[in-house]
Amino acid sequence: MNQEDAIRDDQPGQEERPYSPLDERVIPYWRLSGAVGWIIPMLLLFGLAIGVGGAVFGHLRLSLFLWAAWGVGVIFWTWWYPPRAYAAWGYRRDGKVLELRSGVWFRVVRLLPLSRLQHVDLQRGPLERWFGLASLVLYTAGTQEAAIGIPGLPDAVAQSLRDELVACGGDDGV
């Protein structure tokens, strides 16, 4: 992909490991969890738009329009955004440093020296389990970046990555 090339080109001359992508199933997972999270409030708001906006204040058309505009935004976030977020996500381990990148518009690259790893959580919510996914949360002693998440990893990959990271970071004799 274009972005990936751009980031690789930043450090010419060096032999770069490619970024590992997340599992592709994370796209439907994000879409589904987004839909579950948004559709109920959408329906509630529809009732509110007709009931309060229309009946009480007499601005039925305006409130329906606002509701629809908001609905377009929700569809945008639940349908259009996840594939882009998936494409932007990547991680790679380079020696003792784990590098994570994410963000479609606001890009973030986090470099985590593995000797700073305090502990690792492996999380599997009900929806994630259904898709066979798991996410890792990496904890450091830092402040703003004390907990760093990697979502949407295949179950087995998440477990082996966790073991790999802990084994790599664990030789720090604190």
CB 147, min distance to other proteins, A: 10
What b-and-e string marks burial along 20-58, b requiring 16 or more CB atoms within 10 Å of the CB? ebbbebbbebbbebbeeebeeeeeebeeebeeebbeeee
Which one among 25, 31, 96, 124 touches other proteins, defined by CB under 8 A?
Answer: 96
CB 77, min distance to other proteins, A: 17
Q: Does 58 bind other proteins (CB under 8 A)?
A: no
Q: Does 111 bind other proteins (CB under 8 A)?
A: yes
Q: Does 170 bind other proteins (CB under 8 A)?
A: no
Q: Does 145 bind other proteins (CB under 8 A)?
A: yes
Q: What is the 8-class DSSP label of residue 14?
A: S
121-140 footprint of other proteins as x/- string (CB under 8 A) = -------------------x
State the Cα torsion 82-85-86-89 to the nearest 10°: -160
Helix (H, G, I), strand (E, B) or coil at 22: coil
State the Cα torsion 164-85-101-29 to the nearest 10°: -20
Q: How many CB atoms lie within 10 A of CB 82?
A: 20
- Report the C-alpha gap between 167 and 82 in whole angstroms: 32
Size of the site for other proteins (CB under 8 A): 32
**Cβ distance to other proteins smaller for residue 14 or 56:** 14
Q: Does 116 bind other proteins (CB under 8 A)?
A: yes
Which one among 107, 121, 127, 156 touches other proteins, defined by CB under 8 A?
Answer: 107
Residues of this chain that bind other proteins (CB under 8 A): 7, 10-11, 94-97, 99, 103, 105-116, 140-146, 148, 172-174
